[in-house]
């Protein structure tokens, strides 16, 4: 019995020793495996890249402005009275001289009649005084009246003549006031709504409320501000081409590009030192009336000789303490920091004046996830490409998706 207990204890000790060995081996394996995993570098991030586009272009500078009417008139009454009629439909096109409002003309017609009667009476008195003067002249020749009496008759004739002219002026004033009761369009254009309707009493003068407004339709002005460099390059006296030959194009907020062609009408006489800009006004034909005063306008100005340029997507350009930069991919798939000088926008891409050569590969998506010196896995895309994470372009896939959802066509990339 004693020997059996000893053998059992020995067997248990052997099992414990073997279990400890297995556990230690497992711990050593786990330790070395974790160490190996920790020493393995993370995979290189996948980044979308594209080749900088080299293209011969004609540069344009783009500005924002507002459309303005060439002529804008606030219609105010010139005589007081009650509005008898409104002769236009709100928002309609009117011609110069078309009736707009009628003010009750009866008081003014009566005043015309009174002035006509006063003029007739003055003319009768003037004719009598003239005949008395003629008679006095004959009597003076015959020494039948004194010189004093003759002078009195001459003065009477002159006074009645002056009264006639005064009565004529009063009649003219009465006729003008009667004509002012019929308010007509002073210019051709589009009329606004009637601010004061039939039955309301109006008073004359500049302080009275406007009855309506009329703005001319064609042509229209586009007012915008340009920076000092653009002024010196394009519109300053002596600049190439001169203001008269400077091409300018306009587009509305919902239009692609700049389909409306115009010409520079005026440039302000001073540069605003606070903003560093100068106000410019261009004129555009508007036969279809689509260019409505007050609308936002995209103005394209400049032009010149075609020249080679490097173009990149705006999304590839980063900002570093006021400096603009791109990340260029070298032959070993490492990223290199490159400071750039930007030019204007051209057909959705940005002109790069300095810093990048045509054909160099740069990061166009994921710029915020990498740094100079990083090694990446490049995925080549087109320079105008937008990531599927931000589908804002009019791609065929997006058009199909919008059609399936019942949406309108996607707006083009600006």
- pLDDT per residue as tens digits for the range 248-279: 899 999 988 889 999 988 888 899 999 999 99
The reported pLDDT for the residue numbered 46 is: 82
- Asked whether the predicted pLDDT for residue 367 surpasses 90, the reply is no
In angstroms, how far is the first alpha carbon of the chain from the final one? 97
28-56 pLDDT per residue, tens:
555 454 544 555 666 777 888 999 999 88
Q: Given CA atoms 120, 121, 126, 127 in this order, what sign does their dihedral have?
A: positive
Asked which of 133-142, 206-215, 320-329, 403-412 is least confident by mean pLDDT, the reply is 403-412
Supply the pTM of this predicted model.
0.61
DSSP state of 6: H
DSSP output for 84-150: EEE-S-TT-EE-TT-EEEEE--HHHHHHHHHHHHHHHHHHHHHHHHHHHHHHHHHHHHTT-S-HHHH
| CA proximity to 126, closest of 96, 104, 156 | 156
Helix 106-141 and helix 147-180: axis angle, to 10°? 160
**If one looks up domain 62-69+219-302 in CATH, what number appears?**
2.40.30.170
Q: pLDDT tens-digit profile of 154-172?
A: 898 889 989 999 999 999 9
Q: Of 235, 216, 211, nearest to 224 (Cα)? A: 235
Mean pLDDT of 11-39: 53
CATH number for 309-405: choose from 2.40.420.20, 1.10.40.60, 2.40.10.340, 3.40.228.10: 2.40.420.20
In whole angstroms, what is the distance from residue 266 CA to residue 249 CA? 15
Residues 77, 79, 80, 84, CA torsion sign: negative
Q: Which of 303, 216, 215, 294 is nearest to 258 (CA)?
A: 303
Structural domain boundaries of the chain?
62-69+219-302, 72-214, 309-405
DSSP state of 330: -
Residue 187 pLDDT greater than 90, yes or no? yes
CATH class of 72-214: mainly beta
């Amino acid at each position: 019995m004693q020997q059996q207990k000893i053998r059992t204890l020995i067997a248990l000790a052997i099992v414990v020793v073997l279990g400890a060995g297995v556990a230690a081996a497992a711990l050593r394996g786990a330790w070395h495996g974790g160490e190996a995993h920790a020493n393995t570098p993370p995979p290189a991030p996948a980044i979308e890249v594209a080749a900088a586009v080299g293209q011969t272009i004609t540069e344009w500078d783009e500005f924002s402005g507002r459309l303005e009417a060439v002529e804008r008139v606030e219609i105010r009454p010139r005589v007081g009275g009650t509005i008898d009629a409104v002769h236009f439909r709100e928002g309609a096109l009117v011609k110069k001289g078309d009736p707009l409002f009628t003010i009750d003309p009866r008081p003014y017609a009566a005043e015309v009649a009174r002035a006509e009667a006063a003029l007739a009476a003055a003319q009768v008195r003037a004719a009598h005084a003239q005949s008395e003067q003629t008679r006095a002249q004959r009597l003076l020749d015959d020494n039948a009246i004194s010189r004093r009496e003759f002078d009195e008759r001459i003065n009477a004739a002159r006074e009645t003549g002056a009264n006639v002219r005064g009565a004529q002026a009063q009649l003219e004033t009465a006729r003008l006031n009667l004509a002012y009761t019929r308010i007509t369009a002073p210019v051709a254009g589009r009329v606004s709504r009637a601010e004061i309707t039939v039955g309301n009493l109006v008073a004359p003068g500049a302080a009275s409320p406007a009855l309506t407004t009329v703005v001319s339709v064609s042509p229209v002005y586009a007012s915008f501000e340009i920076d000092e460099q653009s002024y010196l390059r394009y519109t300053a006296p002596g600049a190439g081409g001169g203001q008269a030959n400077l091409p300018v194009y306009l587009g509305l907020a919902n239009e692609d590009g700049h389909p409306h062609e115009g010409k520079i009408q005026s440039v302000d006489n001073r540069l605003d030192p606070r903003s560093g800009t100068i106000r410019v006004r261009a004129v555009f034909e508007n036969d279809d009336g689509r260019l409505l005063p007050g609308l936002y306008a995209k103005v394209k100005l400049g032009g010149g000789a075609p020249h080679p340029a490097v173009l990149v997507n705006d999304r590839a350009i980063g900002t570093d303490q006021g400096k603009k930069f791109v990340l260029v991919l070298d032959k070993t798939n490492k990223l290199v920091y490159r400071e750039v000088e930007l030019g204007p926008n051209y057909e959705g891409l940005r002109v790069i004046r300095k810093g990048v050569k045509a054909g160099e590969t740069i990061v166009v998506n994921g710029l915020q996830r990498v740094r100079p010196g990083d090694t990446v896995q490049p995925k080549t895309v087109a320079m105008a490409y937008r990531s599927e994470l931000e589908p804002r372009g009019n791609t065929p896939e997006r058009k199909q998706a919008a059609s399936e959802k019942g949406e309108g066509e996607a707006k083009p990339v600006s």
